[in-house]
Amino acid sequence: MTHELNRRNFIFASLGAVGTLPLASYAVAQTQPASVRWATVTPSFAALVVEFIRYHKLDEKHGFTFGTPTAYTSVPTYYADFDVGNYDVCVGSWDGFAAHYLGGVPIKYLCTITTAEGINILSSSRDGLKSVDDLAGKVVAALQQTGAYRMARAVLKEFHNFDLDKQAQIQNVLNPAAAVSLLRAGSAQAALTYEPNVSNGIIQDPSLQVLFNVGASYAQATGQPLPYFGVAVRRDLLDRNPGIGARINDVFRDCIADILGDVPSAVKTVGERTGFAPEVIAEAINSKRLSFKYSSMTDPAARKATQAAIDFCARNGVITSKPDDGFFFEG
C-alpha cells in the first residue's frame, strides 16, 4: 500500500513539474526522437539537398532534428562509415545501397530523389563524334569503380548493342571530374561522368556536348524512369525510433518539391557549399540532367519502377543478385 501511494505521489509530482505545458506539446516532448546523424560529401549535388534541408529546418518541421552533418571529401570513406554505423542517413546511388544490403549491411532503402539522366557521356564537337557507335576504338575517360559506369555499360549493352569494355578503350580516372579534364586536354575522345560535373565541364568549355544520356536512353527503351540517387537509413535507427522513417521520408519529399518550386532561390540559399559554383547547379537542374524526382518506396508505383531497375541491373551484372523485400522501407 505504501509503495502504491509513493508511486502515485511520484506520478502526480512529475505531472505537476510539467506545469502549464499543453498536453499535446508534452506528448511530443515525450516521443520526439533523438538527433539523427547524417553526412554530406563534396563536391556533389547531395550537398545541395543537405544544406537546403538545414537552411529551411525541414527536419524540425517534421518533428525531429538532424545533427550537424559529418563532412566528407572521400566517397569511399563516406559509404564505408555509413556501412559501419557512424551515421544513420545516407544520400547515394540505390544500386550501391542494394550491393551493401546484399553484403549484410542493415539498411532500408527509403526513397529515390533523382533519376539517371544525370549520367552522361561527353565528347568534344571538335572530334566529330555523333553517336555511341562512334565510341568504337576511342579513348573514354571514366571512373570504373562506380555505379554510374556500371549503369552506363549496362544500358549501352542491352539497348544499343555496344560493349563499352570491349569496343572502347577505357582510361580509368580517380574521380568523375578528372574524366572531364582528360577530355578537355585531348587525352580522351569522350568522358563518362555525372552531374554536376557534366554542366561544370560544358560551362567551362562550350565545345563539349552530351553524346549519350543514360537515363534518357533507359526511359525511351522501357517507358519507365531509371532511378539513381536516393536515401538509405540504418535499420537500428528505425528500430530505436518508431515513426522516424516516415518523418525522414517527408523531409526529402518536401525538400525536392521546394527545390523544384524555386530553383534560383534554392541555388542562392546553398551558394558554393556544393563544391560547385551556383550557376553550375542551376544549369544542371534547368537542363533536366540533374533530374530531381522524389518517389517513396511506400508507393507501389515507385516500388514497381525500382523493381524493374533491379531486374535490369541484376541481369546486366550491375548488382550480383536481387535484394529481397527487406531492402525496402515499408512505412
Higher pLDDT, 264 or 75: 264
Residue-averaged pLDDT of the chain: 89
Q: Output the CA–CA distances (angstroms, integers) from residue 107 to 236, 248, 297, in the order listed.
A: 8, 14, 13
Domains by residue range for the chain, with CATH? 35-115+227-327 (3.40.190.10), 117-219 (3.40.190.10)
The mean pLDDT of 65-83, rounded to a whole number, is 93
pLDDT tens digits, residue range 7-26? 334 333 333 333 333 433 33
Q: Which of 139, 298, 125, 142 is nearest to 214 (CA)?
A: 142
Reading the block at residue 237, the C-alpha cell is 535507427
CA 117 to chain centre: 13
pLDDT tens digits, residue range 268-297? 989 888 889 999 999 999 999 999 999 999
Q: Which of 268, 122, 97, 144 is nearest to 195 (CA)?
A: 122
Q: Residue 3 pLDDT more than 90? A: no
* pLDDT above 70 as % of the chain: 90
Radius of gyration of the chain measured on its C-alpha atoms: 23
- pTM recorded for the entire structure: 0.84
pLDDT of amino acid 307: 95
Residue linked to cell 522524389 = 294
Which residue type is seen at 39? A
The mean pLDDT of 68-89, rounded to a whole number, is 94
Q: Residue 298 pLDDT more than 70? A: yes
